[in-house]
Amino acid sequence: MPAFSLKKICPWCVQHEAAQREDGSEDARQVVIPAPWVARQREASISLTQIIFGACVAVFLGMALAAKDVPIDGGFPAELAFHWGANVGPYTLSGQWWRLLTYMFLHGSLFHIAFNMWCLWDLGTMCESLYGRWTFGILYLTTGVAGGVASVGWNPHVLSVGASGAIFGLAGALVASFYLGEFSQPKIAIQSVLKSLVFFLGFNLFFGGLFQGIDNACHVGGLVSGLILGALIARVSPDPGNFARRAGVLLLVALGVGGSAFGVQRWRGPQLFNPQGNVRRMITELQNQTRKTPQDASAHYALAHEYFTGGQMSEGEAELKKVLELQPQNARAQLDLGAAYLSDGKSKEAKDTFTQLLTEHPQDATAHVGLGMAWANLQDHLSAIREYKTALQLNPQARGVYYQMGVSQAQLKQYDEAIASYQTEQSKGGDDPDLEDALADAYQAKGMTQQAADARSKAAELKNPR
C-alpha cells in the first residue's frame, strides 16, 4: 500500500516501507496477522452455522414424519407447510409476524434443503468466522426477515419457505465486506473469493427467474439487506471489539427491515384485508400468474379463494380441482372443495369429496362434520348423526357440531336428543338466536309450550338487543 494512505497499514508493511527508505532492515522478522477466521474458529466447539444447519434438518425431518413422505423435488402439502410456519401474505401481514422467522427454517423438498444447506455450510462458516458468532446470527436473521418481507410484498398470496433469503443475505454481506473491508489475506485471494460470490449470486438469480417455484423476490430482499449491512459493518464498525458501534449498525438495519415490513403491510393491506374492493384486480393478477406457472399449486389455491370471495363458485371449484391434480394428497384443498360444494348446493359432490378425503385421513374431524352436513342435505339424517358423533369423538371441543346434530335429530323427531344436543352446544358456545329458535321448535314439538315461549323470547332479545 502507498505510504500516504488513510487506511491502517499492517506492521509488516510498515517494516517493508522502512526498509525501502533504508530506515530498517529488509530481513526483519515478518509479523503475520492471522486471517480473521483463524482465531475465531477456536471460540466454540459448535458453531452457530452448525446449530442453524441442525435446526433446518431437524424441522425437515419433523415435517417428513408428519407428512409420512420425503418429497424429492416436489414439495410438502401446502397446509402442512402453513401449519409449520410458512410465510404467506394474508397471515403474515395480518399480525402473524413470527412467520418471517419460522419460514427460513422450513424447506419444501429433499433437493431444496440439500442445496440450501450446502450453501449455508460454506457461506455461513466464512461469514461467522469473519464477523463473529453474534453478529453473524443477527445478520442471518435480519436478512432472512428482509427476504420474507420482499416475498410477501411481491407475491402476497404465494406460500414461501426456505433459508435462501438469509443465505443470499450472507453472500451480499460478504461481497460488500470483501470489496470495502481490509484483510490480512493477499489481494488475489480476496478477489478470487469475491468473484466466486458474484458468480454464485448471478447464477442463482438468473436461473431463479427461469424456473417456477423459486422465490426470487425473497432472494433479492435478502441480498440487498446483506449488501447494506455488510457495507455498514466494513465502513462504520469493522472492529468487533467496539460493541456499541457494531450494535448500532445492526440495530439500524433491523429497524429499517421492520419499517419495510410495516410499509408492505400498508401497501398490500387493502387488497388482502378488504378483498371485496380489490377482488377483480387480484383475480386478474392470479390468472396471469397461473398462466405463467401452471404447475404452481399455491397460485391456483389462492385464485380459487379469490373466486369464492367474488361469488364465482364454479370457477373457484375448478381451481381447487387443478390444485388436487397437482397435489392429490392436499387435504386442505379437498376440505375447501367439499365446503364449496356444500355452499353451492352440490350435496352429492360434497359427499363424494369428503368420503374420498376420509379414506386417506380417517381421523380428520372437520371432514366428518362436512360429510355429516352433506348427508343431512341429502335427507339421510341417520348417516349425518353418525358422522357428527365420530367428529365429536375425535374433537370433543368442536363448535357447532352439536347444533348440526340437533337439527338432524329433530328431523328424525328425536326431540329429547335434539334438546340435549342444543343445550350442550349452548354450554360450549354461549347464547345464539338461531340456537334458541331451534330449541323453541323442539320444545314446541314436545308440547312444552312455556319453554318454547321463553326460548323464542330470548331469541328475539338476542336478535334485537336494547
DSSP secondary structure letters along 100-123 = HHHGGG--SSHHHHHHHHHHHHHH
* DSSP state letter for 430: -
Within 10 angstroms of residue 335's Cβ, the number of other Cβ atoms is: 20
CA nearest neighbour of 329 among 359, 352, 372 = 359
Contact 417, 432 (CB under 8 A): no
Q: Cα(49)–Cα(38) distance, rounded to whole angstroms?
A: 16
Bridge partners of residue 160, in order along the sequence: 87
Q: Cα(227)–Cα(239) distance, rounded to whole angstroms?
A: 18
Distances (CA, A) of 352 to 333, 384, 388, 405: 14, 14, 17, 20
Q: Cα(397)–Cα(369) distance, rounded to whole angstroms?
A: 13
Q: Cα(380)–Cα(374) distance, rounded to whole angstroms?
A: 9
pTM of the predicted model, to two decimals?
0.56
Note down pLDDT in tens along the chain; length 466 residues: 333 333 445 555 666 666 666 665 555 554 444 444 444 444 457 899 999 999 999 999 999 998 888 887 667 877 788 889 999 888 888 889 999 999 999 998 898 899 899 989 988 988 898 888 999 999 999 999 999 999 999 888 788 899 999 999 999 998 888 888 766 555 665 666 777 778 778 877 776 666 666 788 999 999 999 999 999 998 888 887 888 999 999 999 999 999 999 999 888 876 666 545 566 777 887 888 888 888 888 889 888 988 888 888 999 999 999 999 998 888 889 999 999 999 999 999 999 999 999 999 999 999 999 999 999 999 999 999 999 999 999 998 888 999 999 999 999 999 999 999 999 998 888 888 888 899 999 999 989 999 989 988 888 888 876 6
Domain span(s) for CATH 1.20.1540.10 in the chain: 50-272
Domain made up of 50-272: CATH architecture: Up-down Bundle (1.20)
User: What pLDDT was estimated at residue 372?
Assistant: 94
Q: Cα(219)–Cα(221) distance, rounded to whole angstroms?
A: 5
Q: Where are the alpha helices (DSSP H) in 41-109?
A: 48-67, 78-84, 89-92, 99-102
User: What pLDDT was estimated at residue 225?
Assistant: 95
DSSP secondary structure letters along 10-39 = -HHHHHHHHHHTTSS-TTSPPPPPPPHHHH
Report the amino acid identity of residue 53: F
